[in-house]
Structure 1
Amino acid sequence: MSELIKNVEKEQVFAPKGLVEVESGRVNSLTLAQTPGCKVTLFAIDEGEGMSSHSAPGDAMVFVQEGTAEITINGAPHQVGAGEAIVIPAGAPHAVRAVTAFKMLLTVVIGQ
């Protein structure tokens, strides 16, 4: 059987936000899982940095682990802080901007 979740030790407690670090002027990421139906990625994004408008083929849940992000979905901005999450509907144009340096766990679920 292939490895479904990668880049972490199995059967070990870990802090996901510790797996990626904020670097000046950068967007860093680490993929934890990627299958035809699901993608799980950690991001660390420096203040003022982000991702321009794009869309995903599945529903995307952004869980902010620390800091504050502005997630714009269908033109409407949403501030999401540490411990909060937002779901982006499949196909919706969205962009991400770091209000403060932040870390997020992104889960994209694609229907079969």
Structure 2
Amino acid sequence: MDIDREKLKIFRKGGIMEKIKEKEKGIPFNLENEVAYADGSVVSKTLLNSLAGTVTLFSFDAGQGLSEHTAPFDAMVHLLDGEAKITIGGNPNLVSKGDMLIMPANVPHALMAEKPFKMLLIMIRGKQE
């Protein structure tokens, strides 16, 4: 099941994100424990959001995903738990806990939870070469 990108954007703009960002600065935390799984859902938690880029945690329940889309900047994914199929430019990649993958700017990509998974998404905004 794919989720609506607009609903995801609205969900990610919740006021709790700012409180968490302020609370966590300078204090160690465990990434895997910062975002929980939710039945039949995708959950996101923005850790940092600046003009330079964003760092966002996600959890995907099995069968959940993000439909094909593009981003204007490179984005790096680090799987913290589980297993996902990440398709980039039509090429599927099966990634598991500990794997990292760079999704190139302006190339269509999609994510699907083969099993429940958690990931850290790092997007650096800047000039593309």
Q: How does the TM-score come out when normalised to structure 2?
A: 0.79
Instruction: Give the gaps of 5 or more residues in structure 2.
Output: 1-17
CA distance in 2, matches of 1:80, 1:18: 20
Return the structure number with greater relative CO, CA threshold 8 A, min gap 6: 1
Question: 1:11 offset after TM fit, Å?
Answer: 2.5
| 1:87 match | 102
Native 8 Å contact 1:7 1:31 kept in 2: no
* Greater share of helix: 2
Q: CA deviation at 1:7?
A: 5.7
Identity in percent: 44
Give the superposed CA RMSD: 1.6
Q: Find out whether 1:26 has 2:41 as its counterpart.
A: yes
Counterpart code for 2:110: A
Query: Alpha-carbon deviation of 1:39?
Result: 1.0
Superposed, 1:44-55 pairs within 5 Å as: 44-55=59-70
1:17 equivalent among 18, 29, 32: 32
Q: 2:58 aligns with which of 43, 49, 68?
A: 43
Instruction: Provide the secondary structure at the position in 1 that maps to 2:28.
Output: coil
Higher strand share: 1
Instruction: Give 4+ residue runs of structure 1 displaced > 3 Å after superposition.
Output: none
Distance 2:87 2:22 in 1: 29
- Give the whole-Å Cα distance in 2 for the aligned partners of 1:26 and 1:39: 22
Verify the 8 A CA contact 1:7 1:32 in the aligned structure 2: no
Which runs of no fewer than 5 residues in structure 1 stay unpaired? none
Change in CA separation of 1:74 and 1:8 when aligned onto 2, cut-off 3 Å? farther
The answer to whether 1:56 aligns with 2:88 is no
